[in-house]
Structure 1
């Protein structure tokens, strides 16, 4: 039933969006946003919704100077329940400016919050992105570095201990580096966009508070490839993508039982998956 309600909400947003865009006053600020339903929420290749459906949405307010603030949220389950939270809420602030030749640079920071959970699972992550075009392709390269924080610390060396609330080094602090690249190419006169992503994580090898980790095995790659279709005359996009990581069952063994669907010790939540999405934007 809750997914039927979510689909109905998407329809209402789609119907209201043209009016919002038309009635929005012109001025130094621009408001944009989206709401979507995805078959699974993956963060850097790892499922945060226990390989189940997720409802997501975001809002950004940008000033003509280049400064912007925004927020983004999603429901969580399983591994993603940081300190007992069932929601991720990101607060974002940054500055974006053109650098000539069709390129742009974007610097800012994201504060990852988990309402209803414990504060030591929240963390901040500054980032920098460089974007531009090469022929028909839109390209983005980014780096995100989270300085040492308890949320990224290696509290426990095994998932079994962490799941039981037993820590080898409670209060430990660590940092995390994430590098990524994105590419997208629109297919003329079709409404289709072909896209790809590759990312590299390097951080704490171990589990933080409540058996969490941003880089579950300490170092790994994630990638995805897919296609989006924008429905003509509507602010709706349907997407399908293939997502995977190079995290093997052997590498993830010490993370169990947390790193599995249903947290029962079987079925890694970093295995390859085909994801579907329906997004309304304004």
Structure 2
């Protein structure tokens, strides 16, 4: 995208001055106005992909990226993607592709309301794997501190129903209750505090899932143990457009509960280790 725009800009630069020239006062006035549409994005490499505390890559590395197009009046659309466990667990391309649309608006001094929907897509996976999840977020900033409270509710749908009674059945691909539907509610809070005079921002997160109690088609799951807490503590270190993040991530999912997930979420269905246990997560993100 950058190269393409650079070529266009270079082509315009060599055109005769009168061809596309505007009055000086018009150009100055335009420069003072914010752009109607902005495009932003990022790419990242992470030591693990933890979705609400549960590893989606069997504690292995993930490559992730996204792009968002936003209008100055509030609406936005975006797409975000990450690799998943690479042995066919999720079917198809072993890829999560999130399609996002929403509306963001200021509701007071330092406060922003964000309402939208995420459509989770697993390209090439089972026909009933994809699911929708509306969300709402309220963010407030005062000085160096930012606090966010959010709720995401996935209504009853097959993708998050309990299709398997146990992990072994999921690994074998034998449905116990094909077509089962369930819903899920996720509540969370985030906090960030910029450390004055440094490129460091301290961060904290806590979330609670309640609803889905099992693995859906192709072993997808939002809250695979029914209800649980996840949390993290960490820090961002920023340098220009790069951000290095180091955080401690954990859940209250027991090893016994996690064993239900292992045949579907861990490499080779080996069931070794817990994909919901404590870990130190590192990532490097480049924004553009």
TM-score, normalisation: structure 1: 0.87
2:104 is the counterpart of 1:96: yes
Question: Partners in 1 of 2:245 and 2:171 — Cα distance?
Answer: 35
Task: Give 1:7-46 correspondences, 5 Å limit.
Answer: 27-46=35-54
Judged with a 3 Å threshold, the aligned counterparts in structure 2 of structure 1 residues 80 and 106 are, in CA distance, closer, same or farther, namely farther
Pairing 1:225–2:214 present: no
* Shift, 1:50, TM fit: 1.4
1:51 aligns with 2:84: no
Q: CA deviation at 1:134?
A: 4.1
Give the Cα–Cα distance (whole angstroms) in 1 for the partners of residues 260 and 243 of structure 2: 39
Cα deviation per residue 1:146-194 (whole Å; 9 max; x = unaligned)?
0111110101110111211222211111111100101000011110000
Question: In the superposition, relative to structure 1, how do residues 85 and 174 fare at CA in structure 2: closer, same or farther (>3 Å)?
Answer: farther
Indicate which of 228, 231, 253 corresponds to 1:247: 253
Moved more, 114-123 or 28-37: 114-123
Partner SS for 2:217:
coil
**2: CA distance, partners of 1:149 / 1:80:** 23
Match of 1:7 in 2: none
1:31-90: CA deviation from partner (whole Å, max 9, x where unpaired): 111111111111000111111111111100000110000000111116994234311111
**Structure 2, unaligned runs of 5 or more:** 11-30
Q: CA RMSD in A?
A: 2.2
Q: Residues 198-217 of structure 1 correspond to what in structure 2 (within 5 A)?
A: 198-217=206-225
Question: Which ranges in structure 1 are unaligned for 5 or more consecutive residues?
Answer: 1-12
Q: 2:264 aligns with which of 258, 261, 265?
A: 258
Alignment check: 8 A CA contact 1:244 1:272 kept: yes
